[in-house]
Amino acid sequence: MDAAHHLISGFAVILTPANLYYCLLGSLVGTLVGVLPGIGPLAALSLLLPVTFNIPATSAMVMLSAIFYGAMYGGSTTSILVNIPGEAASVVTCLDGYQMAKAGRAGAALGIAAFGSFIAGTLSTIGLNLFSPVLVTAALSFGPPEYFALMTLGFVVTMFMVGGSTLKAILMIALGIFVSTVGMDVVNGVERFTFGAVNLTGGFDLVAVIMGTFGVSEILMNIERLARGEVVRGKIRGLFPTRREWRDSALPILRGSGLGFALGILPGGGPVTASFVSYAVERKISRHPEKFGTGVIEGVAGPEAANNAAVAGAMIPMLSLGLPSNAVTALLLGALIIHGVQPGPLLMTQHPDIFWGVIASMYLGNVILLVLNLPLIGIWVQFLRIPYRILFPLILLLAVVGTYAANLNIFDVWVMIGFGVGGYLLVKLGYELGPFILALVLGPMFEQTLRQSLIMSSQSVLIFVTRPITAAILALCAAVAVLFLRAEWMKKRESP
C-alpha cells in the first residue's frame, strides 16, 4: 500500500513536462550512444554530467538513468546490423543477432531485442521498486564499520569479476584509491600529495578525471581503429516477433531478467557481465547448443534481457545505500553529490522526489524506448554513417567545454587531458578502467569509514569482528577470495 502510494507520488514527479522531456531526451541520447560504437553509456554519462549542473537534481538523475538503460536498447541495433557491438553489454548479441540479420531475419532479431529489453526492464524495475525500500530500512543499522565492510566486499568482488588479470585489477583499485587521496585528508584536513599547489588542495576534480579516463581515452581508442563494418542493407521488416519466436524467447527473457537483476545488484557486476552469463546459461541448457552462433533467437533474447535487468539491479545499492556497484552507478552517485544531494539510506525519506521519481521514470522510460525505437530504427542506422572524423572532434570539444564550465578552472581541462592519455595507455597495456573509477569514487569513503570505525573503537580493530553485520560481510569477502583463488589455481593446474 505504502509502496504503491510512493510510486504514485513518483509518477506525479515524472509526469511534468520538464521531467518527461528529460526522460525522453535521456532515452534518445542513450539509444544514440548505444547505437554508436565506441561511445558507451559510461563515456556519455561522463561527458554529459556537466550539462546537468543547471537543471534540478531529479531531472538530472532521470535523464542520466535514462541514458544508462537507453544505451542497452541501442547497443543491440549495431550488434545485429553491423556485427560491431554498439556498447560492451551487446558484444554477445553480435554472435547470433548478426547471423540472423544475414539470414534476412534482422527484423525479428531487432524486435525480440527490444521486446526482451522492455520486459526485462519492466520486471527488474518492479524488483527495484519493491526491494529498495526494504534495504533502506535495514540500512540505518549500517554504521561506519558496516560500510567499510561493504566496500571491502565491493573491491574483492571487483578484483575477480572484471575478467583478465586479478593482479591488474588490484593495481587499478590501488591506483584509484591513491588518486583519491590527493588533496585534503578526510579526517584531519592535512594536505597530501599536493606539493603546495593550490589547484590540488581539493584533490583532482572528479568530473575532470572521469571525463578524461572514460571520455577522452575512448575517443583516442576509436581514432586508432577507424575500421567499420558494413551495415546490413535492405528493408527491415517483421519487427513484431511471430508466435513461434515468442515461444522460443519467453523463457530466455525471463531467465535473463532474473540473472541480470541479481548480477546488477552484486558489486562489480553490471550489464556487461550479465549479458555474457546469460548467453552462457542459455547455451548450456539449450536442447541444441550447437546451433548457438548461427542465428538462434534465444542468443539474442537472453543477453538483451539480462543487460537491461542489470541496470535496474545496479540502481538498488546506489539508491538505497549510496554505494555504487559499478562504474556507471558510481557516476550517477557523483551526479547526486554534485547536485548537493547526500546519497545514502536517507535519500528515500529526505529526497523522495528523486528516489521515487527515478524509479517511476524507469517504468516510463522503458515504454518510451519500446515505442520510439522500433519505428526509428531507420534513423539510428543513419547515425552509423556519420564519419568519425566529424563525430569525435565534436565530442572532444564538448568534453573540454563541459570540464571547464564545471569549475571555471582551466587546470581541470589539463587534468582531463592528462587522465585521458593515461587511461588510453592503461587500456593499451591491458588494464580495465572500471575498477579504477570505482576505487576513485569509493576511495575517500573507504578511508573515512575505516578511520571513523577506529576512532569509535579507540583504535581497536576488534570493532570489525564484534559487530555481527560487519563480521558477516568480511567473512563473505574472505570466502569469495578463497573461492576465486581456488578456481584460478585449478585452471592453472589444468593447463600448465
Q: Which of 10, 34, 40, 50 binds other proteins (CB under 8 A)?
A: 50
335: which residues sit within 8 A by CB, 6+ positions away? 45, 49, 52, 60, 61, 64
Q: Which stretch binds other proteins (CB under 8 A): 129-137, 181-189, 242-250, 487-495?
A: 181-189
DSSP H helix total and E strand total for the chain:
21, 2
The minimum distance between CB 76 and other proteins, in angstroms, equals 25
Lookup: cell for 225: 581503429
**What span, in angstroms and rounded, lies between the C-alpha atoms of 261 and 256?**
8
384: which residues sit within 8 A by CB, 6+ positions away? 35, 36, 78, 81, 82, 231
In this structure, what is the dihedral angle of CA atoms 417, 421, 423, 427, given to the nearest 10 degrees?
A: 150
Applying CB under 8 A, does 226 fall inside the site for other proteins? no
Whether 292 contacts 94, CB under 8 Å? no
Question: CA 170 from chain center: how many Å?
Answer: 20
Applying CB under 8 A, does 51 fall inside the site for other proteins? yes
Applying CB under 8 A, does 442 fall inside the site for other proteins? no
Applying CB under 8 A, does 405 fall inside the site for other proteins? yes
- Interacting residues with other proteins between 112 and 141 (CB under 8 A): 140-141
Whether 430 contacts 167, CB under 8 Å? no
Q: Which of 218, 298, 353, 412 binds other proteins (CB under 8 A)?
A: 412
Other CB atoms within 10 Å distance of the CB of residue 13: 21
Applying CB under 8 A, does 403 fall inside the site for other proteins? no
What track of x and - describes contact with other proteins for positions 270 through 309 (by CB under 8 A)? ----------------------------------------
Q: Which stretch binds other proteins (CB under 8 A): 93-101, 194-202, 324-332, 481-489?
A: 194-202
**What span, in angstroms and rounded, lies between the C-alpha atoms of 206 and 155?**
19
Whether 432 contacts 167, CB under 8 Å? no
Number of residues that bind other proteins (CB under 8 A): 49
The minimum distance between CB 196 and other proteins, in angstroms, equals 8
Per-residue b/e over 121-136, b at no fewer than 16 CB within 10 Å?
bbbbbbbbbebbbebb
Q: Which stretch binds other proteins (CB under 8 A): 109-117, 198-206, 258-266, 418-426?
A: 198-206
The minimum distance between CB 406 and other proteins, in angstroms, equals 8
Three-state DSSP class for 235?
A: coil
Applying CB under 8 A, does 392 fall inside the site for other proteins? no
* Cβ nearer to other proteins, comparing 340 with 468: 340
* Cβ nearer to other proteins, comparing 408 with 490: 408
* Cβ nearer to other proteins, comparing 23 with 57: 57
Q: Which stretch binds other proteins (CB under 8 A): 169-177, 196-204, 302-310, 384-392?
A: 196-204
- Interacting residues with other proteins between 58 and 87 (CB under 8 A): none
Q: DSSP labels for 472-495?
A: HHHHHHHHHHHHHHHHHHHHHHH-
449: which residues sit within 8 A by CB, 6+ positions away? 144, 145, 147, 148, 151
Question: CA 160 from chain center: how many Å?
Answer: 17
Applying CB under 8 A, does 187 fall inside the site for other proteins? yes
* Cβ nearer to other proteins, comparing 405 with 477: 405
Q: Which of 9, 166, 181, 199 binds other proteins (CB under 8 A)?
A: 199
Applying CB under 8 A, does 452 fall inside the site for other proteins? yes
- Interacting residues with other proteins between 325 and 364 (CB under 8 A): 338-342, 344-346, 349-350
10 Å CB burial of residue 140 (0-12, 13-18, 19+) is: exposed
Whether 32 contacts 72, CB under 8 Å? no
Applying CB under 8 A, does 471 fall inside the site for other proteins? no
Which of 339, 360, 276 lies closest to 85, judged by CA?
276
The minimum distance between CB 345 and other proteins, in angstroms, equals 7
What track of x and - describes contact with other proteins for positions 139 through 178 (by CB under 8 A)? -xxxxx----------------------------------
Interface residues with other proteins (CB under 8 A) are 50-51, 53-54, 57, 140-144, 183-189, 198-202, 205, 338-342, 344-346, 349-350, 398, 401, 405-409, 411-412, 444, 448, 451-452, 455-456, 458
